[in-house]
Structure formats: C-alpha cells, structure tokens
Amino acid sequence: MRPITKGDWPTDPHTGASLNFKNWKKAIQILKIRTGEYCHLCEMKVTNPIAIEHIKHKEAYPRLQGSWINFLLSCNYCNSRKGQNLLLNPYRRHYFWPHLHNTLLKFEYGLDGLTHPHRALNPQDQARAQRTIDLYKLDAANTSTGDVDQRHRLRLAALRIAIDRKIEFEKGICTVSAIVDSAVLSGFFAVWYTVFQHTIAVRDALIDSPAFCLAGTGCFNALHEPMDR
Amino acid sequence: MRISELYLKNFRNVAENKFRFPADFTVVIGINGRGKSTLLHALRIACGTYFLGIPDVRSRHIVEDEIRVVDNQRFLTPQTPVIVEARGTFDESGDAEVVWRRRRESVSGGNSSTQADVGLVRSLGKQKYERMNSGAADADHLNLPVIAFFGTKRMHGAARNRGERRYARRIFVEGYRDWFEMRSTTFLYESWLATFDIYARQGREYPETKEVFFQTLRNANPRYLKEVDFIDGELWLRVELEGYDSQLLPISLHSDGVVTYMEMVAEIACRCIILNGYKRVQAVTHTYGVVMIDEIDLHLHPTWQKHVVADLKNAFPSMQFVATTHSPLIVQSLDRSELLNLDAAVVMMDSPDEMPLNQVVTEVMGVQDIRSDNFEQRYLESKARLAEISLENGNLTISDYEEVSRLLGEMLRAETNDPTMRAYLDESENRA
C-alpha cells in the first residue's frame, strides 16, 4: 500500500482561512493534487467515479463528515466494501493507515495479486494489518460467483505488466522511464515497487515520480530505503 | 407521439410504480414476473387513448384481468382504482408535455374517459380523423403516429397465405389494423405491395413510397440482406448470414429469425406509408410513433442480436421503440439511458455497451455463478503453481518471472474485460 501525505487542512489562498468541507466532494480535487489519482486503499487508478472515504463513517459521526482529517480518497469498491463496518477506536492504533504509517512496510503483495500483512511484521502487527485488510476487503479474490469487485483483476493485470517490464529490463530492452510511465498509467504503485524493489535504478525512479506524490511523506531515507514514520 | 413516463397503480402485478423512457429506444429487462410485459401492456393502454375519438380504430381499455389482486390466503381482493398514467409529447403539442390517464374505479365499472383524464389526447386524434373526412385536397396530410404492439405470438402462422385481409386504402382502418396485437397472419404489407402499382398508376399511391419500403428493409438489415424483391404476391429475399448465402428465396422458405424480423420491419414500414405516404421519400424516416416489441430477440441468432437495436434505429430514426428482452447481447448493445432494469437493485457504474458480456450478465442482469465452466479449477491451478514459485525462492530468476508472467496471463485471460488488456495478452503471447 502506497503511503501518502494529505498535508495540513487546506486553506483559502486569499483569506488564509481553513476551507469548509460541508460538501466533502470539494476535497476530492485537493486530495488528487496532493496524493495522486489513485485509491488510497487498493491503489487502483481512479478517474471517475471517485469517492471520499470517511474513515469514521458520516452516519455515526455527522460532525466529522466535513473534516479533512477524516478523509481518504477511495475507489467505489473500497468505499462500498467498508460500508458501515464497525471501526475499532482509536482507529489510529488498531489499524495501519496510508496517511499515518509507512504502509509499504505493513502490507505486501503476493504473486496472487492480493494484499497481505507484511511478512516482516511481528504477529501483533500482522493482526493489526489484517484488520485494515478486512475492513476494506482488500483481499477479495475473483471467484466464480461473478462478483463485480474489479480490484483483484486490475491488480493482477498491473502485476502481469510489471513482471513483463521486469523481464524486458533484465534483458536490456526496456528503459527506466518507460517502466515509470507504465506504472503511472496502470496504478498500483506498491505492485510495481514489489516487483522492482531490488532493481535499484527503477525503484528509485518510481519513488521519485511526481505522480505518486511520495516526496514529503517521510517514508524513505536518503538512499530511498523505506523507513517507518 | 413520444411517451416519456408511465405511472401505474394496481395494474396487473404492479402495486404502484413509475417508469421513465429517456431515450428513443428503451429495452426493459427483469426477472420473469417482474413486470416487463406488464409495462408493455400498460403502454399499449396509454397509446390506445389516442383512438378514443376515432371511430375507425379500436381503443384498448383496462380489462378486468388487469386489475391487481391481493391474496389474503383464503380469497383474492381486487385493488382499485387501477390507473395507467402517461406523460409525453405529440407533434401538435410541440415540446409541451401532456399528461393523460386511463382509470378503472371498480371491477364492475368501465374505464373513465373524462375530459380531464383523456380530453386533450382524444381530441388530438379526433382532429386528424375529422381532417381526413374534410374532403380537402391535402386531407391525407395527417402526420399520424405509428402505434403498434408486437407480442410474443407475432410469428404464429407466419408467412402463410393471408388472402382474406384486403388492403383497401382506408388510412385509419388499415393504418391501425390490429395495432394492439400485430400478428403475422393479419399483416397487410403483402396486399399493400400487391396492389401498389395499380393504385400508383391511378394516382392513389405516392409513387416514391414503394422504393422507400424496400430501402427500409435494407436499412433494417444492412449486414445480411443482399437482395429483396416482391414476386408473385410474396417478398423474396437473399440473405447472407455468417458465410451462408441463401440465394433469392420467397420469405416463407427462410428461417424463423429472418421471417420474424423482416416481416415485422416490413409491416412497420408499410404502416408508416399507409399513415403518412404524403411524406413521400420521408414517409418512413419522418414518421414518429410508438412501437412496442415483446422479446425483441425472438428467434434471432446471438450475432444478429448484437446489432438488432442499432438496425431498427437506423431504419426508423423518428420512432420510439419500447422492447423487452432476456438477452444479454441485446443489453450489451445499449447505452445506459436505453436500459430500463426492473431489478434495479444494482447501481451501474458503466454503460452496458462498454461492458464485457460476463459483466452484463452479472452486474446488470444479476445472474449468479456464471463461470460454470472450469474457471474456478483453472484459477486455483494457476494460483497453486504461483505459490510453489514464491515458496522456492525469495529472489526470482528471469525464468521464474517468465513462468509467473505466463501464469498470470492465464488467470487474466479468463477474467479480463478490458479490450486493451486482451490485446496486450495476445500480443505478448505472440512475442513469446
């Protein structure tokens, strides 16, 4: 899962006053600019439709429905999978979040294209990561039921493309910038990161790509190694 | 005439509901018993209001069987009032919407036809009828709507001898003959064609309209129809379908699909010309109206289903069509606005014409477990082999990656909707 930084509560450029998000859809554009056009949870590239995910859902916490702190950018699949699932409080301590933690170190993708808790975590943190996965059903796989959830299929497609580029890169027939462009277009940053994490030139270019908005997250050291925040 | 909205109360199995028809072509889908045909029957009553002031044409009222009943275990209680209310426009009313309704207050009573309920629509029809009787030189310049209902029995006895119905050039009587249940056995187009030349010579037919008729048949079947003629009282067609060339044959020797579809098109075209022949070359393309078709895919092969909606729009560009279907291929050919889903529990994210067929079946039509083939099996096999690879070694070799790529391709191929992705998979397979 790609870590993000939402930045401070946005302000009006003229008055300096904090923006009012009574209409929370207004936050979509700002979040897109600051964090990229990808679902914060499943990392799917989202054009339209895109939704604001209220971490604390707006029905039970009406006062938080316009709160910047409570917003994530989410595809409709993640947003509707969560629904009104009960959120454990305090949510910052019971789950891992892309805007609070370095989620590259908390989750990983297998070759099956599904989200798993990172194998390097201790059992307690693995359970914590699993709670996030369960909350948004991030490990929903394609089944024979004809489920409409497209996240797994799209992630598999990104994985396949990433692996093909990896093979080509090793054979010397694919450039770094071509790989980064493919990654930006296909979405699923962490899939590309996983495939290229030991291919330093590509890994660094992916991290530096402005489309993924990783500068300023404080999730990487000077050598582009991921670190906790 | 164009109907944009229908409100039903206590009509057949509908307690109360409102249906909208935002596009000129509407296809209604839903599980059996959800009221697809009910909707068409109600539309038929709404359209029939037009004929209340026209003595030559039968109207269509709410009949006793159409009153909704509630079962309270021991007996059935009829629910009244029954209301069929429509909103729409007529060419005479311009863009202004007209609302009219048929109502049945009790089982014993008849349908109300009060001025407030049907007055305006009745008088629109009546004015045209009176104009026809006026004796003026252009008394047939009526701009009448085609109104026709094709039920599922439309094809029974198709392409048989239908000599007893003679075409006698009575605009209203024949233009709307059996409009409420168009049946192949009483289609008029053959008698109309058979007498056309002689009437044309007498100046009673507009000479251009015969070619308009044949052109309409070609427009409605641009892919398969290679030749069309009228010989010895029967339509002859040469049809080329998927590489099979039928040669020029009388329509009665063609397949049920060709007969059902081509006769329906021929009959709609013929009604357009009977009603509005004065429009000459535009008699079909500029005739408006409402055509209702139950099970539009009747007898059509899947390849044909994919474009039948486009073909009908092509042939009758001013007409409103409302059809029902169970065919995912028909649904897949539609824009979002053209689909009326009576199981509308699902919110559609994409327009059906942008979806792959499996998604149409699951997401739009609500079918479960569509991958009854060995999808699950293949998927699990690929997954198991992937698991082996990742277990053997943390760092994969190039050949490992190639194997992974191949396995992912297998999994995706069964799944992918995206034409770009499919092309990509095909292309990379070729390279390897």
Residues belonging to chain B with any Cβ–Cβ distance to chain A shorter than 8 Å:
346, 349, 358-359, 361-363, 367-372, 375-376, 379, 383, 386-387, 389-390, 395, 398, 401-402, 404-405, 408-409, 411-412, 415-418, 421, 424-425, 428
CA angle B320, B324, B325 (to 5 degrees): 135
Average pLDDT score over residue span A114-118: 90
- Structural contact between residues A41 and A136, judged by C-beta atoms closer than 8 angstroms: yes
* CA dist., res. A61 & res. A64, Å (int): 5
With CB atoms and an 8 Å threshold, state whether A170 touches B418: no
Strands of the B111-112 sheet, one edge to the other = B14-20, B2-11, B82-89, B98-104, B111-112
- Structural contact between residues A116 and A91, judged by C-beta atoms closer than 8 angstroms: no
Helix residue ranges, H only, chain A: 26-35, 76-82, 91-94, 123-136, 151-170, 176-186, 189-196, 200-208
What is the residue-level pLDDT of chain B in tens, covering all 432 positions? 999 999 999 999 999 999 999 999 999 998 888 888 899 999 999 999 999 999 999 999 999 999 999 998 899 999 999 999 999 999 877 778 999 999 999 999 888 888 889 989 999 999 999 999 998 889 999 999 999 999 988 887 655 555 556 777 889 999 999 999 998 888 999 999 999 999 999 999 999 999 999 999 999 999 999 999 999 889 999 999 888 898 999 998 998 889 999 999 999 999 999 999 999 999 999 999 999 999 999 989 888 999 999 999 999 999 999 999 999 999 999 998 999 988 765 556 678 887 777 777 777 787 765 554 556 666 777 777 777 776 555 677 888 888 888 888 877 776 665 667 777 777 777 765
Rg (alpha carbons) of chain B, rounded to whole number: 26
The reported pLDDT for the residue numbered A130 is 94
**Residue A112 with chain B: CB contacts under 8 Å:** 383, 386-387
With CB atoms and an 8 Å threshold, state whether B416 touches A157: yes
| Dihedral sign computed on CA atoms, order B284, B289, B293, B297 | positive
Against a cut of 0.80, is the pTM above it?
A: no
Using the Cβ of A47 and the Cβ atoms of chain B, whether some distance falls under 8 Å is answered with no
* CA dist., res. B400 & res. B423, Å (int): 24
With CB atoms and an 8 Å threshold, state whether A163 touches B370: no
| Dihedral sign computed on CA atoms, order B72, B73, B74, B75 | positive
Name residue, tokens 């168009």. B182
CA angle A196, A160, A148 (to 5 degrees): 125
The reported pLDDT for the residue numbered B416 is 61
Spatial neighbors of B17 by CB under 8 A, at least 6 apart, are: B7, B8, B35
Rg (alpha carbons) of chain A, rounded to whole number: 18
* CA dist., res. B324 & res. B30, Å (int): 9
What ipTM was reported for this prediction? 0.77
Number of helical H runs and strand E runs in chain A: 8, 4
Structure tokens at B140: 């047939």
With CB atoms and an 8 Å threshold, state whether B408 touches A147: no
Nearest chain B CA: its distance from A89 CA (Å)? 32
The reported pLDDT for the residue numbered B372 is 45
* Residue A26 scores a pLDDT above 70: yes
